[in-house]
Amino acid sequence: MNVDEWLNKKAELILKEIGIKAGFKVLDFGCGSGIYTTIISNIVGNKGKVYALDYADDKLQELNSKIKSYKLENIEIIKTSREISFPFQDSYLDVILLYDVWHLLSDNERLEFLKETKRALKKGGFVSYLATHLHDPNVSVEKVHNLMKENDLILLEKFNKPMFHWSWIEEYQIFNYYKK
Ligand SMILES: C[S@@+](CC[C@H](N)C(=O)[O-])C[C@H]1O[C@@H](n2cnc3c(N)ncnc32)[C@H](O)[C@@H]1O
């Protein structure tokens, strides 16, 4: 399946199956140019919001062009200086996307991410982790499971779905960890 076909026919349905719903407040952590951000923007609708966070200026500019050309009014871009600090009150978010970014984080950043996630997610909210780069020695799904569990984020759902990665579509595992 090519990317256009996936975007037109599959992407929205898959993200709904993963658990994204209308009205949700979603943080797309490490959003890049925002392929997942824009799909989720359609799902959450005008009562929801997508916060697209990254430090890469060029990627965020690409996303900003998409926001303008498609007139997407429920996306807020958050440009950081790479620090991991979420500008939300406690228990504010329904979902945090962790899609194709874990392999890029240092051990310290991973701990900061978990601390902020635990704080900013509402009870019953979840982190959705797209498990890419499993060949990387710094990535171990088992370790992700353990770190999540240590932070009271409980693995309740697992999916196998065709997902976007880099510039192609491939089958990946997605894990949802819920805040107790
Ligand atoms: C491979 S891209 C994935 C983009 C998008 N999530 C996707 O799945 O298409 C990883 C992104 O994470 C961002 N990133 C890495 N470390 C980050 C950090 N500490 N804070 C914010 N963004 C970060 C990078 O700048 C990059 O845009």
How does pLDDT run across 50-68, given as a tens digit for each residue?
999 999 999 999 999 999 9
Q: Could you tell me the distance, in angstroms and rounded to a whole number, from the CA of residue 54 to the centre of ligand 1?
A: 6
CA separation for the pair 14, 170 (Å, rounded): 13
Over residues 150-157, mean pLDDT: 97
94 lines ligand 1 (CB under 6 A): no
CA separation for the pair 10, 99 (Å, rounded): 17
Over residues 17-44, mean pLDDT: 98
CA separation for the pair 130, 128 (Å, rounded): 7
CA separation for the pair 180, 168 (Å, rounded): 35
Q: Whose CA is nearest to atom 25 of ligand 1?
A: 56
Give the confidence band of 19 by pLDDT, cuts at 50, 70, 90. very high
Over residues 161-173, mean pLDDT: 96
Beta-ladder partners of 52:
28, 77
Alpha helical stretches, state H, the chain: 3-9, 11-18, 35-44, 57-69, 107-120, 141-150
**Is the distance from CB of 156 to CB of 129 less than 8 angstroms?**
no
12 lines ligand 1 (CB under 6 A): no
In sign, the C-alpha dihedral spanning 118, 73, 10, 19 is positive
Q: Whose CA is nearest to atom 2 of ligand 1?
A: 32
CA separation for the pair 21, 122 (Å, rounded): 15
pTM of the full predicted structure?
Answer: 0.98
CATH annotation of 3-179: 3.40.50.150
For the CA of 56, the closest atom of ligand 1 is 25
Q: Which three-class secondary structure state does DSSP give residue 166?
A: coil
How large a percentage of the chain has pLDDT more than 70? 100
Q: Whose CA is nearest to atom 26 of ligand 1?
A: 32
Alpha helical stretches, state H, 72-130: 107-120
**Is the distance from CB of 63 to CB of 35 less than 8 angstroms?**
no
Say if residue 1's pLDDT is above 90.
no
- Residue 99 is predicted with a pLDDT of 98
Closest residue by Cα to residue 177 from 131, 125, 107: 125
**Is the distance from CB of 147 to CB of 114 less than 8 angstroms?**
yes
How does pLDDT run across 97-151, given as a tens digit for each residue?
999 999 999 999 999 999 999 999 999 999 999 999 999 999 999 999 999 999 9
84 lines ligand 1 (CB under 6 A): yes
For the chain, domain boundaries: 3-179
Say if residue 179's pLDDT is above 90.
yes
Strand pairing class (93-99; 153-165): unpaired
104 lines ligand 1 (CB under 6 A): yes
**Is the distance from CB of 107 to CB of 48 less than 8 angstroms?**
no
30 lines ligand 1 (CB under 6 A): yes
Q: How far is CA 114 from the centre of its chain?
A: 13
